[in-house]
A and B are shown apart, each in its own frame.
Chain A
Amino acid sequence: MKTIIITALISLFSISYALAGDEPPTIESNKTAIEMVQTHADYLWTLVAAALVFFMQAGFAMVEAGFTRAKNAVNIMMKNLMDFSAGTLAFWAIGFGIMFGASGTGWFGTSGFFLSDFTAGGDPWVLAFWMFQVVFCATAATIVSGAMAERTKFSGYLIYSVIISAVVYPVFGSWAWGSLFNGSGWLEGLGFIDFAGSTVVHSVGGWAALAGTLVLGPRLGKYTKNGKIKPILGHNLPLAALGVFILWLGWFGFNPGSTTAASTDIAMIFVNTNLAAAAGAVVAMYTSWIKFGKPEVGMSLNGALAGLVAITAPCANVSPLSAVIIGAVAGVLVVVSVLFFDKIRIDDPVGAISVHGVNGAWGTLAAGIFNMGGTSLKIIGVQALGIAACFLWVFPVAFVMFKLIDKTVGLRVSPEEEMEGLDFTEHAGNAYPDFEVSTYRGIGASSSGGGNGYSEAPSGIISTEPLKSTS
Chain B
Amino acid sequence: MKKIEAVIKPFKLDEVKDGLSKIGVNGMTISEVKGFGRQHGHKELYRGAEYQVDFVPKIKIGIVTDEKTTTQVVDVIMDAAKTGKIGDGKIFISNLEETIRIRTGETGQDAI
Asked if A pairs with B, the answer is yes
Q: Which of B45-53, B74-82, B85-93, B103-111 contacts A (4 or more CB under 8 A)?
A: B45-53
User: For chain A, what secondary structure do more than half of its interface residues adopt (helix, strand, loop), or is it mixed?
Assistant: loop
B48 touches A291 (CB 8 A): yes
Interchain nearest-CB distance for B54 vs A (Å): 13
Interface residues of A in 197-232 (CB under 8 A from B): 229-231
Given the contacts A230-B51, A467-B57, A298 and B46 also touching, CB distance less than 8 Å: yes
A294 touches B45 (CB 8 A): yes
A292 touches B45 (CB 8 A): yes
Residues from chain B with a CB closer than 8 A to the CB of A299 are 47-48
Given the contacts A230-B51, A231-B51, A467-B57, A459 and B29 also touching, CB distance less than 8 Å: yes
A458 touches B48 (CB 8 A): no
Check A27 for interface membership: any CB of B closer than 8 A: no
Residues from chain A with a CB closer than 8 A to the CB of B49 are 229-231, 342
Residues from chain B with a CB closer than 8 A to the CB of A294 are 45
Residues from chain B with a CB closer than 8 A to the CB of A291 are 48
CA distance A230 to B32 in the complex (A): 26
A231 touches B47 (CB 8 A): yes
Given the contacts A458-B30, A460-B29, A461-B31, A338 and B51 also touching, CB distance less than 8 Å: no
B-side interface size class: 10 to 19
Check A331 for interface membership: any CB of B closer than 8 A: no
CA distance A294 to B47 in the complex (A): 11
Interface residues of B in 1-51 (CB under 8 A from A): 29-34, 45-51
Check A6 for interface membership: any CB of B closer than 8 A: no
Mask: chain A, 325-353; 1 = CB below 8 Å from B; 0 = not: 00000000001001100100000000100
CA distance A467 to B32 in the complex (A): 10
Check A296 for interface membership: any CB of B closer than 8 A: yes
Residues from chain A with a CB closer than 8 A to the CB of B50 are 231, 292
CA distance A296 to B50 in the complex (A): 11
Interchain nearest-CB distance for B108 vs A (Å): 23
User: For chain B, what secondary structure do more than half of its interface residues adopt (helix, strand, loop), or is it mixed?
Assistant: strand
Residues from chain B with a CB closer than 8 A to the CB of A458 are 30-32, 59
B32 touches A351 (CB 8 A): no
B51 touches A335 (CB 8 A): no
CA distance A461 to B33 in the complex (A): 8
Mask: chain A, 276-299; 1 = CB below 8 Å from B; 0 = not: 000000000000100111101011
Residues from chain A with a CB closer than 8 A to the CB of B51 are 230-231
A462 touches B31 (CB 8 A): yes
A-side interface size class: 20 to 34
CA distance A292 to B49 in the complex (A): 9
B47 touches A296 (CB 8 A): yes
Interchain nearest-CB distance for A322 vs B (Å): 28
Query: Who on chain A is nearest to B59 by CB?
Result: A458
Interchain nearest-CB distance for B4 vs A (Å): 15
Most buried by B among A294, A460, A461: A460
Query: Who on chain A is nearest to B13 by CB?
Result: A458
Most buried by A among B32, B33, B49, B57: B49
Query: Who on chain B is nearest to A350 by CB?
Result: B47
B48 touches A338 (CB 8 A): yes
CA distance A64 to B109 in the complex (A): 55
Interchain nearest-CB distance for B85 vs A (Å): 21
Check A455 for interface membership: any CB of B closer than 8 A: no
A467 touches B30 (CB 8 A): no
Check A233 for interface membership: any CB of B closer than 8 A: yes
Most buried by A among B29, B32, B46, B57: B46
CA distance A231 to B49 in the complex (A): 6
CA distance A294 to B50 in the complex (A): 11
CA distance A462 to B31 in the complex (A): 6
Interchain nearest-CB distance for A305 vs B (Å): 13
Mask: chain A, 230-257; 1 = CB below 8 Å from B; 0 = not: 1101100000000000000000000000
CA distance A169 to B10 in the complex (A): 53
A296 touches B33 (CB 8 A): no
Most buried by A among B47, B50, B62: B47
Interchain nearest-CB distance for A453 vs B (Å): 9
A-B complex: 9 closest residue pairs judged by Cβ atoms? A231-B46, A298-B47, A460-B31, A231-B49, A460-B29, A458-B30, A231-B51, A462-B31, A229-B49
Q: Could you name 21 residue pairs across A and B whose Cβ atoms are closer than 8 Å?
A: A229-B49, A230-B51, A231-B46, A231-B49, A234-B46, A292-B48, A296-B45, A296-B46, A296-B47, A335-B48, A342-B49, A458-B30, A458-B31, A459-B30, A460-B30, A460-B31, A462-B31, A463-B33, A463-B34, A467-B34, A467-B57
Report A's interface with B, CB cutoff 8 A. Answer: 229-231, 233-234, 288, 291-294, 296, 298-299, 335, 338-339, 342, 351, 458-463, 467
